[in-house]
């Protein structure tokens, strides 16, 4: 689904409660050359990539009339990855834990992008993350 596909766009869904930001990156959306839009969530030790049937429509917080708001925005900070081919995908996993995924790494060859889960929210990190805990491994996955 992502391997050998070119990245065209990245969007993210946030979570606001009564106008206050709870989680900036709740879900990431990748637009790739063949599969179209693919969502990424990481929760409870499991990463999930899901091919979407339609575009995640851009939606500003001001357009939502609810105490629980989930706006979607473009992630322009990752523009340097647009047009690059995803060569492989890895999970950051806690060794000896069945559902021990704490993040993913997208390998573009000469560079890469990490998405790390902490407290049910995601953070996006330019490049590979080096953890001081030796129990965290980087394992290639097929998506």
SS3 category, 13:
strand
Q: Is the pLDDT of residue 132 over 90?
A: no
- Say what the pLDDT of residue 134 is: 83
pTM greater than 0.75:
yes
- In tens, the pLDDT along 58-67 reads 999 999 999 9
Cα separations in angstroms, 71 against 28, 56, 77, 135: 12, 10, 17, 35
- Distance between CA atoms of residues 116 and 123, nearest Å: 5
Query: Residue 78: is its pLDDT beyond 90?
Result: yes
Look at residue 70 in the predicted model and tell me its pLDDT. Answer: 97
């Amino acid at each position: 689904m992502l391997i050998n596909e070119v990245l065209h766009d990245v969007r993210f869904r946030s979570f606001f409660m009564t106008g206050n930001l709870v989680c900036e990156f709740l879900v990431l959306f990748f637009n790739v050359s063949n599969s179209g839009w693919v969502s990424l969530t990481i929760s409870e030790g499991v990463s999930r990539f899901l091919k979407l049937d339609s575009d995640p429509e851009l939606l500003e917080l001001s357009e939502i009339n609810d105490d629980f708001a989930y706006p979607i925005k473009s992630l322009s900070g990752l523009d340097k990855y647009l047009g690059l081919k995803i060569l492989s995908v890895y999970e950051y996993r806690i060794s000896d834990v069945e559902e021990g995924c704490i993040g993913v790494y997208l390998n573009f060859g000469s560079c890469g992008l990490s998405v790390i889960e902490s407290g049910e929210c995601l953070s996006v990190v330019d490049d590979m993350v080096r953890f001081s805990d030796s129990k965290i491994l980087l394992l290639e996955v097929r998506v």
